[in-house]
Amino acid sequence: MDKRMIYLDNNATTPTDPRVVDKMVPFFYENPGNAASRNHPYGWVAEEAVDYAREQIANLIHVDPKEIIFTSGATEADNLGIKGVFEMYSRKGNHIITCKTEHKAVLDACKKVEKMGGSVTYLDVKGDGLIDLDELRAAITDKTILVSIMYANNETGLIMPMKEIGQICEEKGVLFMSDATQAVGKIDVNPKELGIHIMAFTSHKMYGPKGVGALFVNRKNPRVKVTSQMDGGGHERGMRSGTLNVPGIVGFGHAAELAAKEMVQDAERLSRLRDKLESSLLANLEECEVNGNPDHRMPHVSNVSFKHVEGEGLMMTFNQNIALSSGSACTSASLEPSYVLVAMGVGDELAHSSLRFSLGRFTKEEDIDYAIEAVTKGVNHMRDLSPIWEMYKEGVDLSSVEWSEH
C-alpha cells in the first residue's frame, strides 16, 4: 500500500511549525515560571515572554498589545465575547445578531444567551454564502447590543463583507464582534480599520500549538469591556482568570510573527495550488461544482460538490492517504448534512456530496497532483457504484422519484 500521507485539512488544524516548537521548548525546562509570580526571576522571565508574545500577536493584527486577552482557544474567546458582552451591556439591551453559517462556538454561545433571557437573530446567507447587508441593517433595533459575524467561514473559506458590516454597526452604534479564527495569520486582518471591536482567533490555525487563543477587545473609541466568564485570580485585566499557558503563548507569539512575515507569499502560492486543484477536478469530472462565491474566498480553501457521490464514502476511497473533510456527517441515524452548505441553499443531496480541501504552509505541489488523481479516481469509482448516478445518466428526473426516506 502507498504509505504517502497528504494533509489537506488545514482548516481543522495546522501542523505546528518546527520553528515555533523550538521557541516553546525552553519554557518547559529552563523557564518553567508562572507569569503571575511577581517576586522572583522565574516569574519575571515568564512575564517578559508573555509580554513579548502579546506584542507579536498585536503586531499581526495591528492593535495595541493591551487589547489582547489570552484564552484557551477560539471557542473560549467566542464564548467570552458573546456572553461577556451580553452580561456587560445588559442595561443597554438584550439583542444579538449573528448568522446561520457561524461556527458552533458562536451559535451555541448565542443559544445560551437566549436561555439567559436574551434574544438572537440568526441572519440567512445568500446563495453565494455571504449575508445580505440590507437584512442586517433591518435587523438592528434599539435593543441590539452586538453584531457577531465570522470573518471567514471554516467550511467554504468565504470572507464576509467585514468593512461594510463595520460601517453599518458604526452608523447604528452597536458593537461588532468577529470570529476570525480562519482568517488571522492567513490573510491580513486589521480590526481597527474594519470597525471590529471584539475578535476571536487561535494559535493552532496559524501553525502554532493547540490550547491557546485570544480575544481582541478594543480599548479606545469605544472602550469595550466584557464580563469575565472564568472567575479566579483576575488575570488578563480581570477578563479571563487562570494561569497563563506560557509555552503555548510563546509559541502563539512566534507563530504570529512568522505569519506576519510569510502569509502574503504563502497565500500567493496556496491560491495557485488551490486553483490548480479546482480547475483540474472540474476538467476531469463532469457534474461537480464549487460552493460559494469564488471572488470572496480565503486563498487556501476549496469546497466542491461531486454530484451523486456521497462525501464520506468518497473520502474512504483515499482516506488512508489523504486527510480532508466532508460536508456529509453520516455518523448518526439522522445523517445530518453540513448546515453551512444547507444554509447556502446547496440542497441536502449536494451537501452530502461535498468535500472541503484546505491547503497549508506545508502543502507541496506534488501533494496537489496526487490529490487530483486520487479524487478523480475515487469519484469515478463511487459513481460506478451509485444507483442515482446511473439513473441520472439514463435521464431519470431524480426529483420525480419517490424515495423512501428513513
Q: Which residues are tagged catalytic?
A: 330
Between 236 and 310, name the residue whose CB sits nearer to other proteins.
310
Minimum Å gap between C-beta 388 and other proteins is: 5
- Residue 387 binds other proteins, judged by CB under 8 A: yes
- CA–CA separation, 363 and 357 (whole Å): 11
Minimum Å gap between C-beta 154 and other proteins is: 21
Between 352 and 361, name the residue whose CB sits nearer to other proteins.
352
Between 38 and 406, name the residue whose CB sits nearer to other proteins.
406
Query: How far, rounded to the nearest angstrom, does the alpha carbon of residue 65 sit from its chain's CA centroid?
Result: 23
* Residue 147 main-chain phi, psi, to 5 deg: -115, 125
- Residue 403 binds other proteins, judged by CB under 8 A: yes
- Residue 378 binds other proteins, judged by CB under 8 A: no
Other beta carbons less than 10 A from residue 363's beta carbon: 23
Contacts (Cβ under 8 Å, ≥6 apart) of 274: 299, 300, 301, 302, 357, 359
Inter-residue contact 81 to 214 (CB < 8 Å): no
Residues 332-361: x where in contact with other proteins by CB under 8 A, - otherwise, as a string:
xx-x-x---------xxx--x---------
Task: Give the binding range for other proteins (CB under 8 A) out of 36-44, 180-188, 221-229, 386-394.
Answer: 386-394
Question: Exactly one of 269, 308, 356, 361 binds other proteins (CB under 8 A); which one?
Answer: 308
Contacts (Cβ under 8 Å, ≥6 apart) of 230: 240, 241, 242
- Residue 406 binds other proteins, judged by CB under 8 A: yes
Q: Which 148-187 positions form the footprint of other proteins (CB under 8 A)? A: none
- Cross-strand bridge partners of residue 121: 97
Helix (H) or strand (E) holding 356: strand 354-358
Task: Give the binding range for other proteins (CB under 8 A) out of 166-174, 181-189, 293-301, 303-311.
Answer: 303-311
Tracing cell 518553567 back to the chain, one arrives at 32
Between 71 and 386, name the residue whose CB sits nearer to other proteins.
386
DSSP 8-class letter at 338: P
Amino acid at 31: N
Residues 258-297: x where in contact with other proteins by CB under 8 A, - otherwise, as a string:
----------------------------------------
Between 187 and 324, name the residue whose CB sits nearer to other proteins.
324
Contacts (Cβ under 8 Å, ≥6 apart) of 295: none
Task: Give the binding range for other proteins (CB under 8 A) out of 122-130, 145-153, 232-240, 397-405.
Answer: 397-405
- Residue 1 binds other proteins, judged by CB under 8 A: no
Asked if the bond preceding 15 is cis, omega within 30° of 0, the reply is no
Inter-residue contact 95 to 144 (CB < 8 Å): yes
- Residue 385 binds other proteins, judged by CB under 8 A: yes
Question: Exactly one of 155, 257, 310, 367 binds other proteins (CB under 8 A); which one?
Answer: 310
Cell of 229: 466568564
Burial class for 384, CB neighbours closer than 10 Å (0-12, 13-18, 19+): exposed
- Residue 313 binds other proteins, judged by CB under 8 A: yes
Tracing cell 491557546 back to the chain, one arrives at 212
- CA–CA separation, 89 and 86 (whole Å): 6
Between 221 and 399, name the residue whose CB sits nearer to other proteins.
399
Residues forming the site for other proteins (CB under 8 A): 308-310, 312-313, 316, 328, 330-333, 335, 337, 347-349, 352, 382, 384-390, 398, 401, 403-406
